[in-house]
Amino acid sequence: MTTLAHPTTLATRTTARVRLPALRYLGPNWYATVMGTAIVASAGAGLPLEIPGLRAACVVVWALSAVLLAVVLAARAGHWLYHRDRARADLLDPAVAPFYGCAAMALLAVGGATLLVGRDVLGERAAVAVDAVLFGAGTLLGLVIAVAIPYLMVVRHRVGPADASPVWLLPVVSPMVSAAVGPLLVPHLAAGQGREALLLGCYALFGVSLLATLMMLPLVFGRLVAHGPLPLAMTPLLFLVLGPLGQSTTAVSQLADAAPGAIGAPYAGALGAFAVVYGVPVMGFALLWLTLSAALVVRAVRLGMRFTMTWWAFTFPLGTCVTGAAGLGRHTGLVALEWLAVGLFALLVAAWSAAGWHTLRGVIGGTLPAAPPVPRPAAVRTG
């Protein structure tokens, strides 16, 4: 027996398929716009210098990051609702799937900026509530992604040594962002078990991300040495390596700040010392990688690199180095580290302005979100 679909049903389905075509290629990498904007506000608020108008500017940037988060969340929901085939293909694409880590980091970045800067507008109580919700959601999502994406890489994605990319770090960095943002909430908990549990939980997240990062970094550098520079459009992604370096330095500093009111004196002192013992050499390596990455970016520009959404890789990772240097400056009292934070912040603002301007032009002009240059089916393992 043949069953004919009702004409209204067919029209509804057809409309659903063609609705919001601009969202078809809006991938998870768009959360980087939220992260890169929120870190400007957080980094500016933590600078050791009093610059007239800086605090007000940070409040404006924080508000922009909150609006961007709402817009991107809604757009990504529309992407999954109306373009599920594309969304599933993204999960099976080893070049795109790691960007799902940006979703968790966007929630965490805006949450942290809300408590640091947004409290000027919302009040401290509301800012704490917003940060607590975003921290909880971002941490849970980050842990899921930190397992799910590597699982897909092992079971479903087909990758080789030549495919190693800095984007592989994205799924495992989000727990480090939680470790850096979580300590801001510690003083707002009642003294006792709650504070200590959150503090040590953040240390556990620090360990999760750090050890996973240490597994990934040799693959990334090995790919560069064995197979040469990344394609021109992908060169900015080298800055992603700064993320776990700067964020881990920030995390140990923030944890050391929160430790005295949450854990016994012997451990609190040890955690303060660890912030310096760990942070100084890691920041040194971050500066080395920043120099190498900048040199490769200059090379790519000379060879004709043009704007793509990968330029947002210049922002959040660089911002974590600003907060990391500022944290080390607080714990060591070294003026050179404070000036390093200021200098890196200037680079951050320049990078954010460039990425934001070109992105705005692309959205207004209709060239963004852009379709993949060469459509191809996702490579998967069937076994």
pLDDT digits (tens, 9 = 90+) for 13-59: 444 444 567 799 999 999 999 999 999 999 999 999 888 999 999 99
CA distance 67 to 359: 16
* Residue 203: alpha-carbon gap to chain centroid: 19
Q: How sure is the predictor about 371, in pLDDT bands with cuts at 50, 70 and 90? A: confident
The pLDDT score that the predictor gives to residue 19 is 57
CA distance 100 to 31: 9
Which residues does 286 contact at the CB level (< 8 Å), separation at least 6?
A: 242, 245, 246, 249, 321, 324
Quick check: 286 and 321 in contact, CB under 8 A?
yes
The pLDDT score that the predictor gives to residue 373 is 60
Write the pLDDT tens digit of every residue in 220-264.
Answer: 999 999 999 999 999 999 999 999 999 999 999 999 999 999 999
Q: How sure is the predictor about 370, in pLDDT bands with cuts at 50, 70 and 90? A: confident
Domains (ranges, CATH) in the chain?
A: 24-365 (1.50.10.150)
Question: Is pLDDT at 271 greater than 80 in this prediction?
Answer: yes
The pLDDT score that the predictor gives to residue 21 is 76
CA distance 55 to 16: 45
Quick check: 277 and 253 in contact, CB under 8 A?
no
The pLDDT score that the predictor gives to residue 51 is 87
Question: Is pLDDT at 376 greater than 50 in this prediction?
Answer: no
pLDDT mean over 201-208: 98
Question: Is pLDDT at 339 greater than 80 in this prediction?
Answer: yes
- What are the tokens at 208? 């999760």
Write the pLDDT tens digit of every residue in 50-94.
Answer: 889 999 999 999 999 999 999 999 999 999 999 999 999 999 999
Q: How many CB atoms lie within 10 A of CB 154?
A: 10
The pLDDT score that the predictor gives to residue 15 is 43
CA distance 42 to 349: 12
Quick check: 96 and 27 in contact, CB under 8 A?
yes
Among residues 32, 40, 36, which one has the least CA distance to residue 61?
A: 40
CA distance 270 to 203: 13
The pLDDT score that the predictor gives to residue 20 is 66
CA distance 257 to 38: 22
The pLDDT score that the predictor gives to residue 11 is 42
Q: How sure is the predictor about 275, in pLDDT bands with cuts at 50, 70 and 90? A: very high
- pTM, 2 dp: 0.92
CA distance 31 to 142: 13
Question: Is pLDDT at 159 greater than 70 in this prediction?
Answer: yes
Quick check: 139 and 204 in contact, CB under 8 A?
no
Write the pLDDT tens digit of every residue in 99-129.
Answer: 999 999 999 999 999 999 999 999 999 999 9
Average pLDDT, the chain: 92
**CB burial class (10 A; 0-12, 13-18, 19+) of residue 53?**
exposed
Quick check: 175 and 247 in contact, CB under 8 A?
no
Quick check: 12 and 19 in contact, CB under 8 A?
no
